Structure 1
Amino acid sequence: MSSETDAHPGQPALLFSDVSLGYGDFTVLSNVTMEVRRGQVVAMMGGSGSGKTTLLRGATGQLSPQAGAIRVFGEDIAQANGDGVRKLRQRMGVLFQQGALFTDLNVFENVAFPLREHTEQTESAIIQTVLDKLDAVGLRAAAHLKISEISGGMARRVALARAIVLEPELILYDEPFAGLDPISLGITAQLIRTLTDRLNCASVLITHDVAESFAIADQVYMVGQGKMIASGTPDDLSRSQDAYVRQFLDGQPDGPIAFHYPQTPAFQQWLGQHGGRP
């Protein structure tokens, strides 16, 4: 555990304070406030195109807020210099939606990659650490296999082992349940909960999968219509009568969630350049 964390035990691992995020003239989300603490699984939910991945980019420093502040381990990530951002990211783990595994490396070497890049551990220590993390996701005996020899669900678990191999204090999961069969989905959800408890880290799920997220999350934030729509425990949201929340949770085709993508100044400019009509 790092000295920075020890110095501020009550400090959120991730804090959004009245944050607005967007691209160019287009604001995707406005006035977002949320916090994630160690030992918590927090689900950030919303429909496709609602801005969930934009929030992840803000959390990792890839996108600076148009307004407000994003603090990671107490530091304003938008104000950090290049070396400062790199150090903050080393304390994070990210599980990308497609896994982003190296197909020319076997399972063991995929998980070992961050250790070889960012530590000076001996080979024996790397072997012990990687096998321990593979054991945590149920794949210790698959260490020798090529990525082409494992299933999609197994590949997601390998990516999860790689994301936790440096024992990060904050783990960001981008659509961790996408494309998984029901058994792999249930296994992955329980792994996220178990690993959060085991590592005492903060976990953020960027997702639209309701049942699996509600089963493991301590807190849920829901975004849509360019803002934070609702927040609370899974039980709180399940009891909500808000029209957007009910449409999302119940999968209703009609409601406040619009079918058409909103028009933006950038689109109007493009349309004018191409001779289109409003």
Structure 2
Amino acid sequence: MPSLSSAPDDLVLRLADVSLGYGDVSILRDISLNVRRGQVVALMGGSGSGKTTLLRAATGQIKARAGVVSLFNQDLAQVTGDQLQTLRQKMGVLFQQGALFTDLNVFENVAFPLREHTKLSPSELLARVLDKLEAVGLRTAAHLKVSEISGGMARRVALARAVVLEPELVLYDEPFAGLDPISLGITARLIRSLSDRLGCASVVITHDITESFAIADHVYLIGQGAIKAHGTPTTLGNSPDPYVQQFLKGEPDGPVPFDYPSTPKFESWLKQQEARR
């Protein structure tokens, strides 16, 4: 049975030659990446490129078809259900829609993980929640209902909740989606500052280039079922790779075609449709 002792180094999440998919459909193949303590790592790619599938693999929601997914130095294919739950308690997740409880106020939304997983005294809980709300600029909004705050503020409340247990790894699933430019910039800076403050590893799953490049230490560009490139934002920005440049500049023409590629399943479907006419 694998030990749940602390990793001997600063490696928090590791994927080695990992392939992922659903049913008979392969989504990603030969994926290798490392995430270390204190790093902000961006996983970037277009819609449908497999970014969220990687998040599900990192949290143990799906198993790798090949390769190894290692979380806190533990192979997720080898841990028990109870061990996986213990590992998840060292993680925070900010979901794309925030997933706040609409019947709870701001304070209770952030306090919820503490009430579920700790035995803090009321005074300790109050101090911890207000500290995290202050970190996202919403200490004095603690009493408000979710219906009384803006979408950008709700995302910041969700961010405070994601880090209230002071996790060692935080996963952000499209944290910038649907935000206005001001809220987007605020959220990006908060991700960086909270990572530095907590010393945790942060994985940002996104397709937002400007904000991600401003805060990330390392970027992985995912496309066509694989990692197409990776490096620092500066390295990728200077890359001569046509795929990288097409993605970064949003160009319609390049290695990524506009038209969805034909497949044998499509051709079979089309023949069936034509035969019915």
SS at match of 1:22: strand
CA distance in 1, matches of 2:210, 2:19: 28
Structure 1 unmatched ranges of 5 or more: none
> Contact conserved, 1:220 with 1:233, CA < 8 A, in 2?
yes
- 90 and 277 in structure 1: CA distance in 2 versus 1, 3 angstrom threshold: farther
Separation of aligned partners in 1, 2:65 and 2:258: 26
Matching of residue 245 in structure 1 with residue 248 in structure 2: no
Work out whether residues 94 and 163 of structure 1, in 8 Å CA contact, stay in contact via their aligned partners in 2. Answer: yes
Shift of 1:263: 5.5
Deviation string, structure 1 residues 31-62 (Cα, Å, up to 9, x no partner):
01000000000000000010000100100001
State the alpha-carbon separation in 1 of the partners of residues 71 and 46 from structure 2: 25
Map of 2:64 onto structure 1: 65
Question: 2 CA distance for matches of 1:86 and 1:36?
Answer: 20
Task: Give the share of equivalent positions with the same residue, in percent.
Answer: 66
CA distance in 1, matches of 2:112, 2:100: 10
Q: How far did residue 261 of structure 1 move?
A: 4.1
The residue type equivalent to 2:40 in the other structure is V
1:29 maps to a residue whose letter is L
Partner of 2:194: 195
Structure 2 unpaired stretches of 5+: none
Pick from 251, 254, 273 the counterpart of residue 276 of structure 1.
Answer: 273
**Aligned position for 1:235:** 234
- Give the Å deviation of 1:257: 1.6
Kept after mapping to 1: 8 A contact 2:252/2:258: no
Q: Aligned partners of 2:172 and 2:268: how far apart in 1? A: 34
TM-score of the superposition, structure 1-length normalised?
A: 0.93
Matched position secondary structure for 1:276: helix
Other structure's SS at 2:47 match:
coil
Structure 1 contact 11–74 (Cα < 8 Å) conserved: no
In 2: Cα distance, 1:198 partner to 1:174 partner: 20
Report the equivalent of 1:124: 123
- Normalising by the residue count of structure 2, what TM-score does the alignment of the two structures yield? 0.94
- 1:211 aligned onto 2:210: yes
Q: Distance between the aligned counterparts of 2:257 and 2:23, measured in 1?
A: 22
Amino acid at match of 1:4: S
* Deviation string, structure 1 residues 135-171 (Cα, Å, up to 9, x no partner): 0000000000000000010000000000000000000
SS at match of 1:21: strand
Structure 1 residues 168 and 26 mapped into 2: Cα distance closer, same or farther (>3 Å)? Answer: same
Question: What is the aligned-residue RMSD (CA, Å)?
Answer: 1.9
Q: Tell me what 2:5 maps to.
A: 4
- Deviation digits for residues 171-224 of structure 1, max 9, x if unmatched? 000001111111111111010000000000000000000010000000000010
Aligned to 1:39: 38
